[in-house]
Structure 1
Amino acid sequence: MPGPRVTTFHGDETLPSHVEVVVIGGGIIGASAALELAERGHSVALCEKGGIGQEQSSRNWGWVRISRRDPRELALMASSIDIWRGLDARLGRATGYTRAGILFACENAERYAEHQRACAQLAPFDVGAKMVSGGELDRLLPSGHRMALEGALYTPGDGRAEPQWAAPAIAEGARERGAAVLTECAVRGIERTAGRIGAVVTERGRIGCDAVVLAGGAWSGLFCASLGLRLPQLKVINSVLRTAPLEGGPEAALWSEDFALRRRADGGYSVASGHANIADIVPDSLRYARDFSAALRQEWRSLSLRLGWRFLDELRLPRRWALDEASPFEYCRTLDPHPSKRQLDRAFSRLVEAFPLFARAQVAQRWAGCIDVTPDAVPVISPVDDVPGLHIATGFSGHGFGIGPGAGRLVADLVVGVTPLVDPSPFRFSRFSDGSRPEPIGGF
């Protein structure tokens, strides 16, 4: 079954001969970067090998949350929430953003204590985070629920938006401000002039430029490899289903160990497993095994490792190619993995057990997406010292949708050279080569 239906976006026909900045990747990160740069008066070309928002930017859960984030991301996420609040008015288009709250369920005392520590870290931010239990928690859940909970972390200032609307709306906003937005226009590589970036070569021709933002999601590692750069990045497959409209369900999004759900603008719900993902064993799994060893020790219970044809498919992918020949990005316009029926059936059955009203919900569609992960589950938002003019914004590790507008603003700050929105040092590319030994912070 194909992925979700994304708002139709028609790319520009004309390739500009020169711009100040080329943004590679038309997901929410790339679109947000293009919007920020164009709004400041810079000439921009946004190049997407397929369609705007067609990969993970439209396939995620749609959560806009500061709760249960890595502490290194909190300041950036707080800034992103501020952007989300005014984004629809700024764009003149709907992204579906609303502050409906998010609940993280605590099935036992250990989980309660863990969430309580996370709650304390949110005190400086305006999201109203608190621990709830008893009648207060019951009022936030559908009547007749059967969840036996110790309590929950509740952040009423968190919210949701519509992944199938957001990236196209932001890209249209960038175009209205002067950006060229080019779809089915893969960037094959870069040309350098006096050691700096001087142009990109696309499948449709050359675009002269002074800077490049690589926001290629799960494709970023391969693009970096073609430049001789080592970006440790792996793909994790997450499966989601959506229901037809259903009355009586919770307004706040909810995470539990067994299932996660959030209300959609159409009245249905997006549902996924609370923790289960699939990681295909591929050649990069071996290349970056040492980088990801700490992450694997922490997350092994949530990962189903799978060895199959994907290993051979990626083994055949070239890591270098001539700029006058087709690149791997032209042979795969959209990553569209098969969803795990087993994981989704289990999550949905647990949802029905918890909330019997979902027994009458009709499953309308299932899909999966490829999450691009880094060894510490923190993104790279950074210039690249070895390639002057190149900036990377990738590796959002399943946290990219909500933080996307803030990440776009931060990378735009770095490109332009103004005071950055937040301290960018936790997101520096050099942490993978400067002896820092990046790894996840447990519990996030």
Structure 2
Amino acid sequence: MRVAKRDPREIPLVLEAQRIWRGLNARTGRDTGFTQAGILFNAENEREGAGYETWLKHLDGLGVDCRMLSGAEFSAMFPQSRLRPPAALYCADDGRAEPQKAAPAIAERARECGAHILTECAVRGIETSGGAISAVVTERGTIRCRAAVLAGGAWSEMFTRSLDAGIHLPQLKVKNSVLRTEPHDGGPDQAMWAGDFAIRKRQDGGYTIASGIGNVVDIVPASFRYALDFVPALKAEWRALMLRAGWRFLDEARMPRRWSLDEPSPFEYCRVLDPKPSRKLADMAMASAQKAFPALASAKVAQRWAGYIDATPDAIPVISGVAKIPGFFIATGFSGHGFGIGPGAGRLMADLVLGRNPVVDPREFRLERFVDGSRIELLAGY
């Protein structure tokens, strides 16, 4: 849940999310693991440091504790580190939480407040009446409704395409590999990005470590479908994207594009996207973290995993109603920022569904930006 180096268009939503995170333990009556320990982005050179200083101007007047550190200040803050950046961006207000605790805490509190949560229950599609949504069809039956929100992560594009409603949702999957260590001393208390690795301390005393720039993009049929949409992203972030051709292309090519609502959908045959992690990329990140913080040399790896990031061409989410289907809403494409920004996104979506004054201006997150002639731009480095 960082404001550090955010795309300026996301900053208002991030600040709302941080406000909610700060009170979420009390609101749920449970521990989410949230703590405001701060986040740092190390500058690899003076030019990058100057870019951070320019970005800081987006926070003017917002009362956010975010500032530049000189190389000497960084060394004083992390005397155990061998890193020697010329400068670093430090946002003390930024924080972290534990997904394994926060997600159940929110769900359990929602149930206590009267929400019904169905697990192991795939949604096959929707029904409409007079052009507006009237029901959601699940594998367990039909649920009548006047509004529905698609928050399907990396599945969202496939779902919208199956509706055959002409919804243009350019979204691709990007795989990132991660590892966590057993409890260990010697690393930073603050979360940190340092180019070839990113690290955060866990509540259990271990560390989560991943590559700072190593993201695998499998070439699949959707890559060609949305190639023109993603040209700006490729130009801005080509160094951080590793294009790969493999069996994933055939796996996705075999998936049906349409299905009957009275038969099993692809979401029932593959309930969880759980890709195999890249041991090489995760180990490279671990080695870089150990080089930067020698005390981590004896840290033991407890788990490795990978996940698919639901990426949009401009790397900011879609939080929007769908004009073609009144009552149908989409919240997806968080491009790796979903956990931290989630509470703010949920608040904004609730406002849109209920017709309330939105907590932040939703214009930047509208679905129509991909088809209304708006300039789609990924702001490099965010």
TM-score by length of 1: 0.84
The aligned residue for residue 205 of structure 1 is 141
For structure 1, the 5+ residue unaligned runs are 1-63
Aligned equivalents of 2:63, 2:211: Cα separation in 1: 29
The aligned residue for residue 126 of structure 2 is 190
The aligned residue for residue 217 of structure 1 is 153
Aligned equivalents of 1:84, 1:190: Cα separation in 2: 32
The aligned residue for residue 28 of structure 2 is 91
Residue 119 of structure 1 deviates from its aligned partner by 2.0
Residue 168 of structure 1 deviates from its aligned partner by 1.7
| Matched-pair contact (CA < 8 Å) for 1:381–1:393 | yes
Residue 230 of structure 1 deviates from its aligned partner by 2.0
Aligned equivalents of 1:197, 1:126: Cα separation in 2: 42
The aligned residue for residue 107 of structure 2 is 171
Aligned equivalents of 2:106, 2:63: Cα separation in 1: 25
The aligned residue for residue 85 of structure 2 is 149
Aligned equivalents of 1:100, 1:212: Cα separation in 2: 36
| Matched-pair contact (CA < 8 Å) for 1:263–1:270 | yes
Aligned equivalents of 1:77, 1:68: Cα separation in 2: 11
96, 108, 114: which one aligns with 2:45? 108
Aligned equivalents of 1:95, 1:144: Cα separation in 2: 29
Q: Map residues 179-328 of structure 1 onto 2, 5 A cutoff.
A: 179-228=115-164, 229-328=167-266
Of 193-202 and 206-215, deviating more is: 193-202
Number of residue pairs matched by the alignment? 380
Offset from partner CA, 1:325-377 (integer Å, 9 cap, x none):
10110011111111111111111111111111010111111100000000111
Aligned equivalents of 2:289, 2:186: Cα separation in 1: 14
The aligned residue for residue 57 of structure 2 is 120
Aligned equivalents of 1:394, 1:414: Cα separation in 2: 15
Aligned equivalents of 1:244, 1:271: Cα separation in 2: 12
The aligned residue for residue 292 of structure 2 is 354
| Matched-pair contact (CA < 8 Å) for 2:46–2:86 | yes
SS of alignment partner, residue 34 of structure 2: coil
SS of alignment partner, residue 313 of structure 2: coil
Aligned equivalents of 1:284, 1:360: Cα separation in 2: 42
Greater RCO structure (CA 8 Å; 6+ sep) = 1
SS of alignment partner, residue 160 of structure 1: coil
The aligned residue for residue 79 of structure 1 is 16
| Matched-pair contact (CA < 8 Å) for 1:67–1:122 | no
Q: Which runs of 4+ in 1 moved over 6 A?
A: none
Aligned equivalents of 2:183, 2:265: Cα separation in 1: 42
Residue 123 of structure 1 deviates from its aligned partner by 2.8
For structure 2, the 5+ residue unaligned runs are none
Code of the residue aligned with 1:279 in structure 2: it is V
Code of the residue aligned with 2:87 in structure 1: it is G
Aligned equivalents of 2:284, 2:73: Cα separation in 1: 28
Residue 315 of structure 1 deviates from its aligned partner by 0.4
Offset from partner CA, 1:3-62 (integer Å, 9 cap, x none):
xxxxxxxxxxxxxxxxxxxxxxxxxxxxxxxxxxxxxxxxxxxxxxxxxxxxxxxxxxxx
Aligned equivalents of 1:231, 1:181: Cα separation in 2: 26
- RMSD of equivalent CA atoms: 1.0
Offset from partner CA, 1:138-158 (integer Å, 9 cap, x none):
2322x3321121010000000
1:430 aligns with 2:368: yes
Sequence identity of aligned pairs in percent? Answer: 61
Aligned equivalents of 2:131, 2:192: Cα separation in 1: 50
Q: Map residues 368-379 of structure 1 onto 2, 5 A cutoff.
A: 368-379=306-317
Code of the residue aligned with 1:102 in structure 2: it is I
Aligned equivalents of 1:313, 1:134: Cα separation in 2: 48
Aligned equivalents of 2:131, 2:62: Cα separation in 1: 43
Residue 224 of structure 1 deviates from its aligned partner by 0.4
